[in-house]
């Protein structure tokens, strides 16, 4: 049977492996290894259409720019929150009065000495947590790595530590302890 006698292929049955790879945009790993080109380079060249336009809808430069914008927007938002929260924690008696009011706790916060010490420690931990998060975010961004998640994880970890420090003087306050025993 000659090539002229064959019926027209419907599903690439008679296509050569090269024609099949060209159709499905899969690079030839063997060719890439033989020529010294990386498989990702071969995949990148295969993702360009016949007219030279890229087939990928995601532009790496654009996604890096978006990542930087999101990362630094989160860091800016966190900076404002850290400044406000650190000032509130330094004045722990006012902070505790707000907590008592929001929770509906009758009485007044009386553990002033412990509140000032633990409140200052919580404020310092908050600032240090922000600085570490910002430093790590900038390093990842400068290295060209995705960094938007770093401020989110940093916020969670920092707030767990700050919350643990801030709860210590509240738990040792007689009015707060009485409230907790009354609700259980």
From 14, 41, 57, give the residue that closes a domain. Answer: 57
What is the model's pLDDT at position 30? 62
* End residue of a domain, out of 15, 38, 57: 57
Which residues make Cβ contacts (< 8 Å) with residue 134, sequence separation at least 6? 75, 78, 79, 151
* Whether 5 and 47 share a structural domain: yes
Q: Are residues 46 and 128 in the same domain?
A: no
Q: Which residues contact 98 (CB under 8 A, 6 or more apart)?
A: 88
Structural domain for 52, as ranges: 1-57
> Is the domain of 66 the same as that of 41?
no
Q: What pLDDT does 48 receive? A: 54
Q: What per-residue confidence (pLDDT) applies to 4?
A: 72
Answer yes or no: do 122 and 172 share one domain: yes
Structure tokens at 182: 């009354």
Look at residue 25 in the predicted model and tell me its pLDDT. Answer: 67
Q: How far, in Å, CA of 133 to CA of 139, rounded?
A: 10
Q: What is the sign, positive or negative, of the torsion defined by CA atoms of 71, 157, 87, 135?
A: negative
86 shares its domain with 168: yes
pLDDT in tens, the chain (184 residues): 566 776 666 665 667 777 776 676 655 566 566 666 655 554 555 555 555 555 555 567 788 889 999 999 999 999 999 999 999 999 999 999 999 999 999 889 998 899 999 999 999 999 999 999 999 999 999 999 999 999 999 999 999 999 999 999 999 999 998 898 888 7
The span from the CA of 134 to the CA of 54, in Å, is: 35
Q: Are 2 and 71 within one domain?
A: no
In this structure, are 23 and 88 located in the same domain? no
Residue ending a domain, choose from 12, 28, 57? 57
Measured CA to CA, the distance from residue 172 to residue 177 in angstroms comes to: 7
CA 11 to chain centre: 44
- Per-residue pLDDT, 60: 72
User: Do 93 and 80 fall into the same domain?
Assistant: yes
Domain count, the chain: 2
In sequence order, the 6+-apart residues with CB closer than 8 A to the CB of 148 are: 67, 70, 71, 74
Pair (117, 70) in one structural domain: yes
**Would you state the pLDDT for residue 17?**
74
The helix or strand, by DSSP H or E, that contains position 70, with its residue range, turns out to be helix 60-90
pLDDT of residue 74: 96
- pLDDT for 16 equals 74
Q: Cα 132 vs. chain centroid, distance in angstroms?
A: 14
One-letter-per-residue 3-state SS of 84-144: HHHHHHHCHHHHHHHHHHHHCCCCCCCCHHHHHHHHHHHHHHHHHHHHHHHHHHHHHHHCC
Same structural domain, 42 and 67: no
Say if residue 136 is in the same domain as residue 100.
Answer: yes
Q: Residues 171, 114: one domain?
A: yes
**Cβ atoms 152, 67 nearer than 8 A:** no
């Amino acid at each position: 049977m000659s090539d002229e006698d064959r019926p027209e292929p419907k599903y690439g049955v008679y296509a050569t492996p090269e024609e099949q790879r060209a159709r499905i945009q899969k690079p030839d790993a063997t060719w890439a290894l033989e020529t010294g080109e990386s498989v990702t380079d071969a995949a990148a060249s295969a993702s360009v259409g016949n007219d030279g336009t890229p087939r990928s809808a995601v532009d790496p430069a654009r996604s890096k720019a978006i990542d930087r914008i999101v990362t630094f927007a989160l860091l800016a938002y966190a900076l404002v929150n850290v400044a406000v929260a650190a000032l509130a924690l330094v004045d722990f008696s006012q902070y505790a009065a707000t907590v008592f009011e929001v929770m509906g706790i009758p009485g007044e916060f009386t553990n002033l000495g412990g509140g000032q010490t633990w409140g200052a420690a919580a404020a310092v931990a908050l600032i240090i947590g922000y600085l570490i998060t910002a430093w790590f975010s900038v390093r990842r961004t400068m290295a060209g790595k995705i960094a938007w998640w770093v401020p989110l994880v940093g916020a969670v970890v920092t707030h767990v530590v700050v919350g643990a420090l801030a709860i210590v003087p509240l738990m040792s306050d007689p009015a707060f302890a009485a409230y907790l025993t009354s609700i259980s």
